[in-house]
Chains A and B, each alone.
Chain A
Amino acid sequence: MTESLLTTRGLGKTIGGKTILRNISVDVSPGSIVGIIGKNGAGKTTLMDVLLGFSAASAGSSRLFGHDSFTLPAAVKGRIGFVPQQDELVTLITGRQQLALTAALYGRWNHPLIERLQASWEVPLDQPIHSLSGGERQKLSTLSALGHEPELLLLDEPVASLDPISRRRFLQEMIEITADRTRTVLFSTHIISDLERIADQIWIMRGGAIAWAGPLDALKESVVRLSIAARRPLPAVLPLAHGVSQRVAGARASAVVSHWNEQEHAQLQAALDADIEVEGLSLEDIFVEFHA
């Protein structure tokens, strides 16, 4: 079994009496590409900040490369790259100088990789950063996070400000960078098509908790919409083991469930004395249903 690179157990975060993260227990294996999706305020940014040790967990534990996130040793920090949602660049200098500063801090730097990416993403390196557009700053942030070839890369909404062409190029590069399965990527996004394109694991965050975590294919297979037609009126609340949402109207009902399988199908059919039609959902529909 592969050793987990990132582990959380019962992770929680409370700020000023408000619970931002609750009971998050996840593992990330090396080589995974994990996409985190959730509404605004679901806790994605907070989760990344706690995972990286910027903030202490209020409950539970978080470990990166086997070390407590809050007290990461220097050697471990050097194996991590991070692109924050709001860039943290020095606005008075040029992009080239920003990259040089980052390179100086990390000590090792893959110049050919950064030159290639800079050319591909068309990042203007000789202009002062404050004169760059939001998308250009985001690309520069990503370059800064990639130069030292991190084993674990965390990106907080990395493509939010990019145009469709830049986004496609960016995702293509991400696929190439992670193709050898030696790098692990954790990224949050609101763009579902991007998740489908590159993520192999999906975390759906809802109200500070992880409502679903697992492989993308498993998510699509196990989250389905049920159309139920019974011979007598249905109860107001259907007895669903992993119900995501449900609407009942007399003898008819529609429900979305996760972890669906043949056994559950047979059991529910018998319990409700109903015909059940199962329909697969797109990732976007799944996301919407999780937040319905």
Chain B
Amino acid sequence: MRGIGRTMLLLLCWGPLQRWLLAIGLILTLAGRAALATLWHPDLRPLFVLQMAFGACLVLISPVLVGGIVFRSLSAARAVALIPNGRLKLVIGAFASHLLLALLVGTTQSVTTGKLIAPVFMTAYAILSLQFFGYYWSCQYRFGGFWLLSWIVWIRLIIVAFKAGQLGAWLNTAHGLFAASLVVSGAWLAFALLYLRSRRVGVPVLDGFMIWSRSASGASRSARLANTAAEIPHYTRRFAARTLLLGMPWNRSSMWQRMFWSILILVLVGIPAQLIRPLGESIGSSFAWVPILVVAGPLAWAFAFTMTQRARLLWLASGLARVELFRLVEAYSWRLMVIAICAAMLLTIPRFLLAIGDLSGVVHLATFVAIPFASGAAFLYAGMSYVTGRRLAGTLIIIVCAAIWLVNIGFPLSGTVAPAPILLALQVVLVPVLRALALRQWRDIDWLLNRPKRLPARIA
């Protein structure tokens, strides 16, 4: 039981930030639930509903974005083989943690919208399980990060199933619910059997959520590409600093190679995404921006946060002072963020162009182009601000960014574009403030605490 409980804890909150998000999210959800249940200030009901929904989102962010990676990391540890029923404990822990998360979603949705809890719970459980299985599987590969982008397809399929396939109505029946629970349980059983029978589990290759990362063969290939001679190669200072910061070689040839594979994957994912449309339904072009925003936020944070820790490697070798290192990390974080957002835009732009009439004019178009960058920039500086030793301040900044980010995502989903300019203005004002805060944190950043970490391997 202890091993299962520990696995659940690690999957729900494996790092300090995740623990903070979980704690604050649960407090917000429970407080909102209590206020609604006791009819405390009934006129403020919409606010409490929003509070509950936001709290649930904070709880979900970490398990959804890193759950698969953490699970693979725990499973790959050699110590697992020595723990009696180690893998079994892990897989039961994963199953139970997703059950809890789905229950939270179901309860929140039921309280806030008055819908039946069971269908929402089952839908949430199916979606969370799909994300977990997919991420666990994909993160052993070099391009595993693209799994997140595949949600562009999944979301469309789910919408089609709900709107055109009457999945929602079907789930509201006893038969539908029973069949859905059989399918999801069957999927977990199949996953568990495959997982328990696999001879070895490889470590995740998504170092710090970097999309382009290593595989054994990939690393050898890049090594050969960069250096065929036996002597010590000559690099520029700039290239050396960049490689140490990113944790991978990043020169022109490797960049083109990555660009080729990225575009290929984008096309492979993007074409089906454009073809899948809810039958008889027209979704606004604003919806096309949701995946871009999804990419802009967490990825920008991850790039900046990872490089903030890796900057330790440059403290002595580069001779740069803390503020100079801040500027270097900032520059590369921006570069990666722009590449990621542009890649996501490439994926969704055809759909957007097809439905351009849905947007009311050039102003909205410009706003929609600018919002992902503003949102990404806010997250980027939040990532650079999140330095250990100042966790509370860093966490609060992330929660503010997450709140705005969720609203960013929420309004296109709800089909309205009206708040876009206000949101953009808010983020444009927020970005320089966050930059100033991040710079202040960096002036005395502690690299004893903020060093690149390896994922924990504790389950016993």
Contact = CB atoms under 8 A, between A and B. Distances in A.
Interface of A: 15, 46, 49-50, 52-56, 70-71, 73-75, 77-78, 80, 82, 88, 90-94, 96-97, 99-107, 109, 111, 114, 126, 128, 130-131
A71 B232 CA distance: 32
Nearest to A128: B219
Contacts of A99: 232
B145 to A, nearest CB: 15
Contact of B233 (A49, A96, A111): A96
Interface of B: 207, 213-214, 216, 219-220, 222-223, 226-227, 230, 232-237, 239-241, 243-244, 247-249, 312-321, 389, 444, 446-449, 451-452
A97 B223 contact: yes
A130 B240 contact: no
A104 B235 contact: yes
A109 B446 CA distance: 29
A55 B312 CA distance: 10
A92 B222 contact: yes
A97 B237 contact: no
Given A53-B315, A82-B316, A93-B222, A71 B234 contact: no
25 contacts: A55-B448, A70-B444, A80-B316, A88-B451, A92-B222, A92-B223, A93-B223, A93-B248, A93-B249, A97-B226, A97-B227, A97-B235, A97-B249, A100-B232, A101-B235, A101-B243, A102-B240, A103-B235, A104-B240, A105-B237, A105-B241, A105-B318, A126-B223, A126-B230, A128-B220
Contacts of B223: 92-94, 97, 126, 128
A55 B452 contact: no
A82 B213 CA distance: 27
B214 A90 contact: no
Given A100-B233, A111-B232, A50 B239 contact: no
Given A101-B235, A102-B317, A104-B237, A93 B448 contact: no
A90 B250 CA distance: 12
A100 B319 contact: no
A289 B397 CA distance: 50
B410 to A, nearest CB: 37
A101 B221 CA distance: 18
Top 10 A-B pairs, shortest CB-CB distance: A74-B319, A55-B448, A104-B240, A54-B447, A49-B448, A104-B235, A101-B240, A128-B219, A105-B317, A94-B223
A49 B244 CA distance: 19
B252 to A, nearest CB: 16
A126 B452 CA distance: 25
A54 B448 contact: yes
A65 to B, nearest CB: 13
A80 B220 CA distance: 32
Contacts of B216: 128, 130-131
A46 B448 CA distance: 7
Counting chain B CB atoms within 10 Å of each CB, the highest count among A55, A105, A130 belongs to A105
Nearest to A118: B232
